[in-house]
């Protein structure tokens, strides 16, 4: 099978499996697992933050961040199509009791003007706006990268207005490699960042939450409250360390494969996509002659897995476990079916 459903389907490399087997461990609920602590320190250093926290999933990392930054009844500004808003089962409301205030950003990336307009006035009967959540890269906008100048302008505005800023950076290393900007620079001025180890970086489990020391201290307690306290989890953290050391720069290969895939798909009658919009490893295209779900089913029957994300849109994601030849074969099968 050529699995293009997501980069979450990647399997750990031999180096990861070896590190997991040999990992030094301790009880992480007592904060005594040395491998976890090394991973947390390394993640914080790479993102330019004071401290880090290993969490089981990216969704938990985002939920912990929102719950620490916002209080019940306070408002969170975020893009209407972002992952936190649509695909995390309302955790910002369930755990933080926070109110989402979605804005329709340009390709998923809110402008300073949009954020300014969304901040509530200081009137007692309005929800208090306390947090801005940004996504980079943006999943449902085809892995787009937040324009650097706009991002910094939005962050600066939030700081001036007294808002905390959290970044859902599940694929922030994809943004970094594609743009040539260090990950720490993409996180500059923010209060917290979550990134996934288990997507393009290939680790089997886990995400990182990084931020200031006081923030992480609160996040440790919030993680436990959500059921995320783990014991000898250094076995998993060991794979995360290998991921950060060996899997970041190779993301460029995934981006190249995604661009190649988009170019071949763009040649197919019945498929609409602009390859110039494919910046990282996510390819979203529109079908005009066949329903997206039908195309996905027929591709599955010939060994190509992908996802229908609407009635006429399909998502394909390149990753470590998909080769250039497999990308070409997937495009060839799509041509045979969709044209």
Tell me, what DSSP letter sits at residue 120? P
Q: What is the DSSP string of 177-222?
A: HHHT--HHHHTTT-SEEEEESSSTT--SS-EEEEE-HHHHHHHHHH
Q: Which residues of 228-248 are buried (b: 16+ CB within 10 A; e: fewer)?
A: bbbebbbbbbbbbbbbbeebb
| Stated pTM of the model | 0.96
pLDDT of residue 339: 74
Distance (Å, whole) CA 140 – CA 308: 12
pLDDT in tens, the chain (339 residues): 999 999 999 999 999 999 999 999 999 999 999 999 999 999 999 999 999 999 999 999 999 999 999 999 999 999 999 999 999 999 999 999 999 999 999 999 999 999 999 999 999 999 999 999 999 999 999 999 999 999 999 999 999 999 999 999 999 999 999 999 999 999 999 999 999 999 999 999 999 999 999 999 999 999 999 999 999 999 999 999 999 999 999 999 999 999 999 999 999 999 999 999 999 999 999 999 999 999 999 999 999 999 999 999 999 999 999 999 999 999 999 999 987
What's residue 220's pLDDT? 98
Q: What is the pairing mode between strands 207-211 and 51-55?
A: antiparallel
DSSP calls for 30-69: GT--HHHHHHHHHHHHHHT-SEEEEES-HHHHHHHHHHHH
CATH fold of 250-338, please? Answer: 3.90.1150
Query: Distance (Å, rounded) from C-alpha 233 to C-alpha 63?
Result: 20
Specify burial of residue 23 (Cβ count, 10 A radius: 0-12, 13-18, 19+). buried
Q: Are 172 and 137 in contact (CB under 8 A)?
A: yes
Listed by start position, the domains of the chain span 11-246, 250-338
Residue 25: its pLDDT value, please? 97
**Cis-peptide into 122, omega within 30 deg:** no
* pLDDT score of 338: 86
Measure the CA–CA gap between 202 and 192, rounded to whole angstroms: 23
CATH classification number, 11-246, choose in 3.30.70.120, 3.40.640.10, 3.40.50.2000, 3.40.50.1400: 3.40.640.10
pLDDT at 38: 98
């Amino acid at each position: 099978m050529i699995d293009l459903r997501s980069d979450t389907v990647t399997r750990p490399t031999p180096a990861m499996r070896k590190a997991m087997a040999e990992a030094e461990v301790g009880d992480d609920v007592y904060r005594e697992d040395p491998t976890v602590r090394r991973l947390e320190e390394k993640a914080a250093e790479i993102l330019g933050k004071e401290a880090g926290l290993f969490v089981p999933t990216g969704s938990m990392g985002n939920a912990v961040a929102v719950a620490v930054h916002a209080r019940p009844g306070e408002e969170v500004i975020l893009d209407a199509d972002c992952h936190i808003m649509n695909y995390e089962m309302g955790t910002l409301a369930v755990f933080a009791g926070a109110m989402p205030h979605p804005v329709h950003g340009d390709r998923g990336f809110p402008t300073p003007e949009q954020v300014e307009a969304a901040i509530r006035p200081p009137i007692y009967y309005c929800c208090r706006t306390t947090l801005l959540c940004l996504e980079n890269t943006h999943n449902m906008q085809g892995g787009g990268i937040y324009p650097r100048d706009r991002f910094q302008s939005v962050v600066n505005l939030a700081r001036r207005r007294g808002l905390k800023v959290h970044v859902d950076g599940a694929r922030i290393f994809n943004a970094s490699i594609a743009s040539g900007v260090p990950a720490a620079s993409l996180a500059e001025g923010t209060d917290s960042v979550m990134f996934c180890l288990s997507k393009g970086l290939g680790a089997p489990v886990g995400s990182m939450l990084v931020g200031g020391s006081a923030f992480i201290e609160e996040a440790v307690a919030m993680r436990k409250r959500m059921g995320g306290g783990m014991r000898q989890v250094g076995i998993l953290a060991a794979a995360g360390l290998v991921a950060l050391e060996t899997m970041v720069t190779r993301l460029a290969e995934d981006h190249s494969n995604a661009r190649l895939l988009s170019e071949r798909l763009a040649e197919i009658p019945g498929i609409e996509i602009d390859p110039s919009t494919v910046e990282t490893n996510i390819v979203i295209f529109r079908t005009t002659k066949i329903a997206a779900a039908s195309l996905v089913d027929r591709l599955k029957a010939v060994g190509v897995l992908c996802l229908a994300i609407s009635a006429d849109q399909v998502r394909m994601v390149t990753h470590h476990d998909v080769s250039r030849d497999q990308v070409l074969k997937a495009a060839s099968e799509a041509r045979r079916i969709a044209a």
